[in-house]
Amino acid sequence: MTAIPAPAAARPAPGARVSPWMLRLCAIGALGLFCAVQWAGVVRPAETGKLVALYLVAMVGGVLVATALERPTWTERWGAIAAIVVVALLVMLVLCGMSSRYLRPDRWDTLAVHLGNAIGTLPALRMPYRGSDEWVRIVLLVGGGVMLLCSATFALAPRPWPFGAAFTLTMMYVTAIVEHRPDHPYADGAVFALLLAALLWGDRLSGKEAPLAAVLAVGAVVASAILAPHLDSPRPWVDYEAIAESLQGGKSTTFDWNHSYSPLDWPRDGLELARIRSRGDLYYKTANLEDFDGREWVQAKSRPAGTDDTQYAYAHPGWTQTIHVDVKGLKSKQFVTAGTTAFVNRSSKKVAEATPGTFQAIGKPLRRGDGYDALVYYPRPTMIEMKAAPTDYPYFALSKLALEIPEDDGDKLEVHVAPWGSSAPSVAIGRQGYRMYDVDQAMAASRYAREWELAQELAGGSTDPYDFVQHVMARVQRDARYTETPPSPGKLEPLDAFLFRDHAGYCQHFAGATALLLRMGGVPARVVAGFSPGSRDGKDHIIRDLDAHSWVEVYFPRIGWVTFDPTPGDSPARGQQTDTLAVKTSGSTTKDRSAATSDRRSDPTAGGHADVASAAGGGATGWYVLAAVVLLLALGTWLASWRRARRLAATGDAEIAELRLALRRSGRTVGDDLTLARVERMLAGSDGALGYVRALRVARYGPDPDAAPTPTQRRALRRELAAGLGLGGRLRALWALPPRLAELREACRPRRRAS
């Protein structure tokens, strides 16, 4: 009896017990999981669970793409790949928190806009990202999933490219650890090196070579881990920052902090302006813009130095600290401080108080090489503390309720708004001091009639000043988008055009409109200019020209000036908003935090935090994910069955080759000398299984080469393969001998009852 020929693909290579493809799958799986866990740290708090889910989707997608690459025609090959990639990306987006309604085709244009805006924000981000813009978080997480999908495809393709997979995962790992600095860099580096070596060379080593290679690799990594801490000197081998500073040739930047609302011409070169050592992330102030001149917010010139600027909460000593500033590429008369500054010492330039709470240099301005210390008061109250704050405003805070409103005849109306909770009337003073007690009538006839009406409406619907601040910020952010080239206001005032017509501007527009509405509602507020918290380098905060910014300070009695930032998160200065004040200040629920500082509100067209998160946990999302998983499994089953049939057909005896494979997968010993007669003796307990083997023998040696086992005989062989092995044996038999379409059709065909 002639032995059943073993398929070429099934013959094991000498000295190898595991196929190279399986070794690559194990290697890319281990290294991909390690890199996914590292990538989870690029956002705060870390999203390890989501990255593991993305890793699983990427691995399944990589296997399916690799299988699709074996399709015979170009159309089938790339059509299947496109379907796999699209489904995998949609599953990744949903897993990262995207609203399920964006899966509808009629919402894909909106989805593309949100993703495009978030991707455009990436160059200005500072890592790890701590902001509240969910679209930015989604893009960052899905970016890791895309890199995992690409690396799995490179490693598992029919013609594998392990170096492409290694390069992709190396970039993913290096980017992650540079941005969030792991707790155990040497141990993590050693693990990464071993996994990378397994990916690059694991499938090329024979059984005898693998142990020696593993010993050499482990020895090299251990020696490197011992040597690395000694080479990690506190002083860099190549001080690239010093080189960069020398190449800049003393380049410096100067800012004009008064508002103009014209297209922004601030530098955006990434030039380092200062290094600041402070406790926690702060907004760094240079100037208070306390006067509204009818069009713009400008620095005050009337208040004498030495007057009070804030009340101190002595029950919170942590709100007072000393910061140290080293000036790099900034040229400025104003000292960069934070909150309300008590005094500046150890300065390389002579110091004078500019306005209460801010200081400036006498004579020559500050420039590269200067440094100083500043004692600052920087309150960080909770939402409960701000809601419980009284409304007995001190006298110096009442000056932050004054406004100049232009009239059509060229004169200006001076308005003094009554403070929140006061029974005193608001006062309007016109030309030559003539008093107009009907402030509502005077404002209704002014260019800011709509702002006045809106402020009174928002104040009437608020329970306290903090609640009013939330309502104002929500209104300013509604439908608004960030742009550094806003439309021309035309005949309107810039802030009026921003609030009611264009809804487009940059930090000056958002901060200016917020402060204007707050003052009109009776809450002392002012605009502040300076820099957002910047990026971290150890204990230092690096301030660059990208961080130049304007925000709002609101006064709460017995607390002081509290910072609120209404500018959207896609601005360069707020690209990774650390929620330093707006989130930590409110200090309560997510709803309260988003109300204080969310970059975009819950308006459906704005695509902000609430827009994404509100529907992310909806009931429809689970069905979409389930449908996508089922689609991926169905597509994978089809590709796997096609791949199996193709490999078996390549042997010339597809049915016999399938029988050999089924016996091997079900745990039977299959050698090269196996014959059909031996298979019959092996399966002597089942007539149906014997019929299957006899049908193969007739097809191979008999007069009818086209004869094939019937579906009934195929099911009988499957039952025989699973006999006595329980549920696990039945599942293993299904894997060994998958059902064919003819079996499914016969199972669904109605049967006649015997008479």
Residue 271 lies in a domain: no
Joined tokens for residue 47: 């999203």
Give the pLDDT score at 344: 92
The rounded distance, in Å, linking the Cα atoms of 82 and 71 is: 13
Residue 130 lies in a domain: yes
> Span 226-237, mean pLDDT?
60
Structural domain ending residue among the three candidates 603, 622, 641: 622
Tell me the pLDDT of the chain averaged across its residues.
Answer: 76
Residue 118 lies in a domain: yes
Residue 739 lies in a domain: yes
Using alpha carbons only, give the angle 387, 389, 395 rounded to the nearest 5 degrees.
135
Instruction: Say whether pLDDT at 63 is over 50.
Output: yes
> Span 173-177, mean pLDDT?
84
Burial label, 88 (beta-carbon count in 10 A; 0-12, 13-18, 19+): buried
The range of the structural domain enclosing residue 147 comes to 22-186+618-622
pLDDT band at 192 (very low <50, low <70, confident <90, very high): confident
Give the pLDDT score at 13: 39
Residue 37 lies in a domain: yes
Instruction: Say whether pLDDT at 496 is over 60.
Output: yes
**134-140: long-range pairs with CB below 8 Å, 24+:** 134/97, 134/608, 134/609, 134/611, 134/612, 134/613, 135/607, 135/612, 136/569, 136/570, 136/576, 137/43, 137/47, 137/96, 137/97, 138/93, 138/96, 138/97, 138/98, 138/612, 139/115, 140/42, 140/43
pLDDT band at 459 (very low <50, low <70, confident <90, very high): very high
Candidate from 50-54, 202-206, 617-621, 687-691 with smallest mean pLDDT: 617-621
Give the pLDDT score at 670: 64
Confirm whether pTM is higher than 0.75. no
Residue 550 lies in a domain: no
Tell me how many domains the chain contains: 2
pLDDT tens for 512-556 read 999 999 999 999 999 999 999 888 777 888 898 888 899 999 999
> Span 479-489, mean pLDDT?
88
Instruction: Say whether pLDDT at 681 is over 90.
Output: no
Report helix, strand or coil for 526.
Answer: strand
Give the pLDDT score at 565: 92
Residue 527 lies in a domain: no
The rounded distance, in Å, linking the Cα atoms of 80 and 62 is: 12
> Span 702-718, mean pLDDT?
69
Q: Could you give the dihedral angle defined by the CA atoms of residues 679, 681, 683 and 684, in that order, rounded to the nearest 10 degrees?
A: 160
- Residue in 532, 540, 537 with CA at minimum distance from that of residue 599: 532
Structural domain ending residue among the three candidates 566, 601, 622: 622
Instruction: Say whether pLDDT at 578 is over 50.
Output: no
**Phi, psi values for residue 321, rounded to 5°:** -155, 165
> Span 192-218, mean pLDDT?
71
Q: How many residues does the chain have?
A: 755
The rounded distance, in Å, linking the Cα atoms of 210 and 20 is: 13
Give the pLDDT score at 707: 62
pLDDT tens for 18-54 read 567 777 888 888 888 888 888 888 887 888 888 888 8
Candidate from 239-248, 350-359, 650-659 with smallest mean pLDDT: 239-248
Q: Which of 67-76, 201-210, 644-653 has the highest mean pLDDT?
A: 67-76
**Phi, psi values for residue 562, rounded to 5°:** -115, 135
Residue 148 lies in a domain: yes
